């Protein structure tokens, strides 16, 4: 029977052979999951059961084929909260935590203790659920077109005990928008990849749903449509907050300016890339 240390070394070796730069981290995450321990290598000599070894080897095989670790584990952490993740939803990215910080800072600055917040294109619900946890008196709505993703948002709301309203709809549906008004904050991380991006996707990203990625030929379809259609739903003084892709900030800013938004402010992610914008309806 193999012990934990032996199996760990072997797994790291396999992932390194496939040029995985995070071989140690990925193997550790898999071990933590299987043994349900934070530090599984504190017991290096512990024998691994045949059943656990078989699962670990299967996970490592999938990982060596480029299948994302988050889908293998079926869960991931975002802003310190646990989320269930499946291939039906985009994997929550640390970049998106900047968007959370933007919304929290607006609420602090403007003294909004119980804002009405709409999270458009909600995916796993990571934004909506996190905002509800961080601002418990907020009235938070999550809008998502994919039925399967809506199932995941429900699971994540319940997992985190977050009382949010989930709407299964196209954000471009005029019926949805017709009677909406006085929203304090609209937050959105829409699909923003261009056709060229889609044609040259990194292997790992090819496992994520196309519906979550493709934003039209120039990647800006959702910014144009949402800004135009949802502007009337914001109260005067309300905010529209977007995440966008690399080098899209000037284009998204132009769309906001054309739609007469004011106090436009850009933020960078941890890698120094301009990643989000907040803009006020005046
Ligand atoms: C880039 S993902 C973002 C997911 C999540 N907000 C996040 O930050 O991790 C975009 C999401 O928009 C959804 N979506 C695509 N088109 C949509 C539409 N017309 N109406 C509503 N949701 C849409 C996709 O299914 C996907 O879940």
Whether 156 and 196 share a structural domain: yes
- Per-residue model confidence (pLDDT) at position 178: 93
Q: How confident is the model at residue 79 (pLDDT cuts 50, 70, 90)?
A: very high
Whether 122 and 250 share a structural domain: yes
The number of beta carbons lying within 10 Å of the beta carbon of residue 49 is: 12
Task: With respect to residue 78, please indicate whether it lies within any of the assigned structural domains.
Answer: no
- Tell me the average pLDDT across 129-134: 98
The whole model's pTM is what?
0.96
Task: With respect to residue 32, please indicate whether it lies within any of the assigned structural domains.
Answer: yes
Task: With respect to residue 36, please indicate whether it lies within any of the assigned structural domains.
Answer: yes
Distance from the alpha carbon of residue 24 to the mean position of ligand 1, in angstroms: 32
Nearest to 159, CA basis, from 76, 57, 222, 58: 76
Please check the confidence at residue 1 and state whether its pLDDT lies above 90.
no
Q: What is the spatial distance between Cα 126 and Cα 76, in angstroms, rounded to a whole number?
A: 10
The minimum-distance atom of ligand 1 relative to the CA of 96 is 8
Task: With respect to residue 212, please indicate whether it lies within any of the assigned structural domains.
Answer: yes
Q: How confident is the model at residue 232 (pLDDT cuts 50, 70, 90)?
A: very high
On whether the CB atoms of residues 155 and 196 are closer than 8 A, the answer is no
Please check the confidence at residue 192 and state whether its pLDDT lies above 90.
yes
Please check the confidence at residue 85 and state whether its pLDDT lies above 90.
yes
On whether the CB atoms of residues 216 and 196 are closer than 8 A, the answer is no
Q: pLDDT per residue over 106-119, tens digit each?
A: 999 999 999 999 99
- Which CATH number does the domain housing residue 133 bear? 3.40.50.150
Task: With respect to residue 21, please indicate whether it lies within any of the assigned structural domains.
Answer: yes
Which of 66, 101, 120 is the last residue before a domain boundary?
A: 66
| 235 phi, psi to nearest 5 deg | -75, 160
The minimum-distance atom of ligand 1 relative to the CA of 99 is 8
Whether 147 and 263 share a structural domain: yes
Q: pLDDT per residue over 8-41, tens digit each?
A: 999 999 999 999 999 999 999 999 999 999 999 9
* DSSP codes joined into one string, 122-142: -TTSHHHHHHHHHSTT-EEEE
Q: What is the spatial distance between Cα 177 and Cα 229, in angstroms, rounded to a whole number?
A: 8
Whether 61 and 98 share a structural domain: no
Number of domains in the chain: 2
Q: pLDDT per residue over 215-224, tens digit each?
A: 999 999 999 9
Q: pLDDT per residue over 142-180, tens digit each?
A: 999 999 999 999 999 999 999 999 999 999 999 999 999
Whether 56 and 101 share a structural domain: no
> Using alpha carbons only, how large is the chain's radius of gyration in Å?
21
Q: What angle is formed at CA 95 by the lines to CA 91 and CA 101, rounded to 5 degrees?
A: 120
> Contacts by 30-34 with C-beta closer than 8 Å and gap 24+?
30/56, 30/59, 30/60, 30/63, 30/69, 30/72, 30/73, 31/4, 31/56, 33/73, 34/59
Whether 41 and 179 share a structural domain: no
Q: What angle is formed at CA 215 by the lines to CA 152 and CA 188, rounded to 5 degrees?
A: 55
Q: Report the nearest-CA residue for atom 12 of ligand 1.
A: 121
β-strand 183-188 against 234-243: which pairing, if any? parallel
Whether 103 and 206 share a structural domain: yes
Task: With respect to residue 82, please indicate whether it lies within any of the assigned structural domains.
Answer: no
- Per-residue model confidence (pLDDT) at position 235: 97
Whether 51 and 125 share a structural domain: no
Whether 62 and 95 share a structural domain: no
236 lies in which domain range?
A: 88-281
- List, edge to edge, every strand of the sheet that includes 116-120: 165-168, 139-144, 116-120, 183-188, 234-243, 274-281, 261-268
Whether 259 and 156 share a structural domain: yes
Whether 169 and 230 share a structural domain: yes
Whether 56 and 114 share a structural domain: no
- Per-residue model confidence (pLDDT) at position 46: 95
Task: With respect to residue 77, please indicate whether it lies within any of the assigned structural domains.
Answer: no
Distance from the alpha carbon of residue 16 to the mean position of ligand 1, in angstroms: 33
Q: Judge if the beta carbon of residue 238 lies within 6 A of ligand 1.
A: no
Task: With respect to residue 41, please indicate whether it lies within any of the assigned structural domains.
Answer: yes
């Amino acid at each position: 029977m193999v012990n934990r240390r032996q199996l760990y070394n072997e797994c790291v070796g396999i992932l390194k052979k496939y040029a995985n730069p995070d071989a140690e981290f990925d193997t550790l995450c898999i071990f933590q999951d299987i043994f349900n321990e934070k530090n599984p290598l504190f017991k290096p000599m512990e024998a691994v059961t045949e059943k656990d070894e078989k699962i670990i080897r299967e996970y490592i095989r999938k990982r060596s084929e480029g299948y994302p670790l988050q889908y293998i584990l079926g869960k991931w952490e975002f802003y310190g909260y646990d989320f269930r993740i499946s291939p039906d939803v985009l994997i929550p990215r640390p970049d998106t935590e900047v968007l959370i910080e933007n919304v929290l800072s607006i609420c602090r600055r403007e003294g909004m203790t119980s804002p009405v917040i709409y999270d458009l294109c909600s995916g796993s619900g990571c934004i909506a659920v996190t905002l509800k946890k961080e601002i418990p008196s907020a009235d938070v709505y999550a809008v998502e077109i994919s039925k399967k993703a809506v199932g995941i948002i429900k699971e994540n709301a319940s997992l985190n005990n977050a009382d949010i309203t989930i709407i299964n709809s196209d954000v471009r549906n005029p019926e949805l928008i017709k009677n909406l008004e006085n929203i304090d904050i609209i937050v959105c991380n829409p699909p923003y990849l261009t056709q060229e991006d889609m044609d040259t996707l990194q292997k790992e990203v090819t496992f994520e749903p196309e519906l979550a990625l493709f934003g039209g030929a120039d990647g800006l379809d959702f910014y144009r449509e949402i800004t135009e259609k949802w502007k009337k739903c914001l109260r005067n003084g309300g905010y529209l907050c977007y995440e966008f892709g690399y080098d899209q900030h000037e284009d998204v800013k132009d769309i906001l300016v054309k739609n007469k938004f004011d106090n436009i402010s850009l933020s960078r992610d941890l890698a120094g890339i301009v990643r989000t914008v907040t803009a006020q309806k005046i």
